[in-house]
Structure formats: structure tokens, C-alpha cells
Structure 1
């Protein structure tokens, strides 16, 4: 009887040691997965924040005179240092002074060939940028809009330890996988939002380049007796420009395969004394994003398969 009890105790101790070993290995895997999920979540948060702030700064620059006084109206804690504007954010991603800054947004502005250029970058203070957004646009004085466009019982038995261990490890692994998948999905979404912001401003940069060419042609022919005819001769068919009427032109700039930027201008009758003021030569009727993708209600919805799951869990 004593020998049998001793044999059972030995088996239980061996099983317990093996269970502890596997639990340690499983815990290490789960901890690594949780750390990766946390890292992805923080990167997604930073990327979304940087993209949103850069887009906000770009809008302020485009629709004000671009001076520091106008910029500081929307970013009251901004600083002007040399040829750059600096905006600081604390750990909660709120505006703050430079002494408490964790993030820094830097805006450098220059004027070249009648266009205003700006490079907007958001970074951890003193480190490499998280996101950079180059923009170019006509100064607001040269842009005139027709209309403004306005989210208990204990017992000792061999086998029970292994069952409990398997259950606990399965729970930990399930939570770990869900955390990684969720964090990776958030990061992918942040990357898509950032790409979308960059694509839009690249298209807007191109649209502003075309607008500058139009302004130059309008200024050249201002005061001409056949002003509108001369303008149409020079611009029609250039850079995708078309005329819907004698005094109204439009053009499109591709953003991506599903969207494009539509611009419509109303030309005004120009006299020779308006040639130096390009704002009086046209009015912007429309400046908006249009969808080019046709929705098909029979389009199948992709389901997450094994390949996609492996990609989500793979190392970058």
C-alpha cells in the first residue's frame, strides 16, 4: 500500500514539473504576443495622431494668409523659430508649451515660383519624424471662393493538472492572438488613413499647380478684346482642362483608383487693371473629392483566411 501511494505521488510530481515547464513556455509566448500587441497599438495611435495634426495644420495654412499670427489663432501655443513654426504636444497628445513637449510638429514655409510650399512633420521631440506631409498651394490672397464648403474542493490526482494547464494556456493564447490581431488591424487602419491623407494632398498639390498655370494664362490675356476666347484657346485640353461654357472650366486630378479631385472655376470678365490681381480673374465654384468606383451589390466580401491570419501574426 505504501509503495503504491509513493508511486502515485512520484507520477503527480513528474506531471506537475512537466506542467510547470509547459506553462512557462506558453506564458513566454503569450507575454511576447501581448508586448507586440501593445507596441502595434502605440504605433497605430502615434501614426493616427501625427496624420490628423499634419492634415489640420495643412488646412490652416491653405485657408489663411499663412502668417504666424493667423496660424497661432488655431494653434495658440505655437512658436515661431526662424523660418519654422513649432507646435508642441504632451503625453496626452494635447497642446502644451515646449518644456512639457513629448511630440513636436514643425512647419517650414517657403515661396517659390508664385506657389507657397510647406513641409509639415510630426515627431517625438528630438527624434525622427513619425509622419511628413509636403504641400504646395496658392496664397489665400490669390484664391477666391464662390461658396464656402463647409466618432471548493481540492483533491490530488494525476491528469487533472494537465487538463487545467491546457485550459489556462488555451485561454492565454486566445487572448494573446486576439490582442495581436486587434492591434495589427488598428495599425493597418492607421496606415490606410495616413496613405489616404498623403494621396489627397499630393492630388491637391497637383491641382494647385494647374491652378497656378491657369492664373498665369488669365493674367497674360487680361484686357484682351477676345479675353475668354484667348484663354480657352490656351487652356482647353491642357492638363485635362475642359470648358463647360465660355466662362467656366473644370479639371480632374486622380487621388487613387477610386477617387479623384474635381475643380471647377468661373472666369470673370477681366480688364487690363486686374491683370496683377489673379484673385479677381476667377472664382472657385467647386473643389471636392468624387468617387469613381462603381458599387456592385454582387461583389463578394473577403473572409479572413489562413494566409491573412499568418500575415497578421508574422513579424514585420
Structure 2
């Protein structure tokens, strides 16, 4: 009679275990990449929300502005730095006002007024000087006011 040779089932179990661990490792890798991408997108959305809030405030200030630069500053707030009519505001990574040395974000506003309208160019930059956001806003004058070119 022939002897039947039976193989141990432990080698089959070992192969199944290796495949299970491989599939689990691949799944974990995909999950980590998804979570990392979600974190990056959340931070970008947070930054854009803060930018939108500040641009809206600047636009509302411009709408009620009488054309004098000192009036714009008194309504919107004291800038961190001025250069002629260019107002610069610096923010840290938590969007708190800060000095130029510790700034992560810079907002520049250049308001201007003519006889018929008031305009402002608003720009946001990060610490690497990449332009994050740019907007030009224009409002007509609707009442009596004085224009001063300070």
C-alpha cells in the first residue's frame, strides 16, 4: 500500500496570515494618506474663512468710508505699517494681529477715492510672499463727502 503524505496545515495558515497583514498594512497606508489630505484641506479652508472675514470687514469699511485715509484707519483699525496710502496688517498663524517679524500672513489694503467712487485693492500674502487672495472693491459715493489725498 501507498503511504499518503499529508502536509501540515500550518504553512497554509502562515500564508493566510501574511496576506491578511499585507492587506491591513495597505489599508492603513491609504487611511493615513486620506487623513493627511483632510488635515491640509481643513487648514486651507480655515485660512480662506479668515481671509473672507477680513475682506468682508474691509469692504464694509470702504462702503461707509468718507474718502479720507484717516477716517478709513479709524473705522477699520490701525495698520501695522503704512506706506503712503498702502496699509499693511500682519497676522500670526492663529490669525491674531502681530508684528512684521512674526507674521505668517499679510493683508494689504490700498484705499483710494475720486469724485464719484471709492475703491480699494485688497491682497493677502503668506510668509513666503505667495499671493493667497486678491480683490478690488468699488463703491459709488452716495452722499456729501470730502475727498482728501493724504
With the length of structure 2 as denominator, give the TM-score of the two structures.
0.77
2:48 pairs with 1:47 = yes
2:11 pairs with 1:10 = yes
C-alpha displacement at 1:69, in angstroms?
A: 3.4
C-alpha displacement at 1:14, in angstroms?
A: 1.2
> Counterpart of 2:66 in 1: which secondary structure?
coil
Counterpart of 1:26 in structure 2 is: 27
2:67, 2:112 within 8 Å by CA — same for their partners in 1?
no
C-alpha displacement at 1:118, in angstroms?
A: 0.8
Q: Cα gap change, 1:75/1:97 in structure 2, threshold over 3 Å: closer, same or farther?
A: farther
Residues 1-316 of structure 1 mapped to structure 2, 5 A cutoff: 7-73=8-74, 74-112=76-114, 114-138=116-140, 143=143, 279=144
1:75, 1:87 within 8 Å by CA — same for their partners in 2?
no
Larger helix share, 1 or 2: 1
C-alpha displacement at 1:24, in angstroms?
A: 1.6
With the length of structure 1 as denominator, give the TM-score of the two structures.
0.40
1:123, 1:129 within 8 Å by CA — same for their partners in 2?
yes
Structure 1: give runs of 5+ residues left out of the alignment. 144-278, 281-316
Distance 1:32 1:52 in 2: 30
1:68, 1:80 within 8 Å by CA — same for their partners in 2?
no
Structure 2: give runs of 5+ residues left out of the alignment. 146-150
Q: Give runs of ≥4 in structure 1 deviating > 4 Å.
A: none
C-alpha displacement at 1:84, in angstroms?
A: 0.8
Distance 1:39 1:32 in 2: 11
C-alpha displacement at 1:103, in angstroms?
A: 0.8
Counterpart of 2:148 in structure 1 is: none
1:46, 1:130 within 8 Å by CA — same for their partners in 2?
no
Distance 1:114 1:72 in 2: 21
Q: Kindly tell me the number of residue pairs found equivalent between the two proteins.
A: 140
C-alpha displacement at 1:123, in angstroms?
A: 2.5
